[in-house]
Amino acid sequence: MSGVRAALARARYFVREFSGEAAYDRYVAHARAHDPAAEVLTRRAFERARTDSREADPREGFRCC
């Protein structure tokens, strides 16, 4: 049972990392690591900022032929 759970947790980890869903948690963890009371963006504001930064420099995240 614990083996199945571990496998599921692993799959979830890879899916979240690969799709970029984990980006917000990482951002919060990073901000809180320095100052546990740090003000962080809401998820909505963070995701907006993240997408909009691609607007500013489209070379980030460019896909090849």
Partner 1 sequence: MPEPEATGTERNTASPDTIPDSPPPTGGLSPKSVAAWVLVALIGAIGWGVLALSRGEEISAAWLLAAALGSYAIGYRFYARFISDRVLKVDKTRATPAERLDNGVDFHPTDRRVLFGHHFAAVAGAGPLVGPVLAAQMGYLPGTIWIVAGVIFAGAVQDMVTLFFSTRRDGRSLGQMARDEIGPVGGAAALIAVFAIMVILLAVLALVIVNALAHSPWGVFSIGMTIPIALFMGVYLRVLRPGRVTEVSVIGVALLLLAIVAGGWVAESSFASTFTLEKETLVVWMIVYGFIASVLPVWMLLAPRDYLSTFMKVGTIALMAVGVVLAMPTLKMPAVTDFAARGDGPVFAGSMFPFVFITIACGALSGFHSLVSSGTTPKMIQKETQVRVIGYGAMLTESFVAVMAIIAACIIEPGLFFAVNSPAGVIGTSVETASQAVTHFGFAISPEALAQAAKDVEETSLLSRTGGAPTFALGMSQIFSSVIGGAGMKAFWYHFAIMFEALFILTTVDAGTRVGRFMLQDTLGNVHKSFKDISWKPGVWLASAVVVGGWGYFLWVGVKDPLGGINQLFPLFGIANQLLAAVALAVCTTLLIKSGRLRWAWVTGVPLAWDVAVTLTASYQKIFSDDVKVGFFAQRDKYQTGIDAGKVLPPAKNMDEMHTVVTNATVDGALSALFALLIVIVLLDAARTCFKAISDPSSVRLSEVPWTESKIVAPAGLIPTAEERAELAAAGLDSGGGRTKEPVA
Instruction: Write out the residues near partner 1 by the rule CB under 8 A.
Output: 14-21, 23-24, 26-27, 29-31, 33, 43-44, 46-48, 50-65
Terminal CA-CA length for the chain:
44
In whole angstroms, the minimum distance from the beta carbon of 1 to partner 1 comes to 20
Alpha helices in the chain (DSSP H): 2-19, 23-34, 43-56
**Closer residue to partner 1 (CB): 8 or 54:** 54
Q: Residue 28: which of 11, 50, 61 has the closest Cα? A: 50
**Closer residue to partner 1 (CB): 7 or 15:** 15
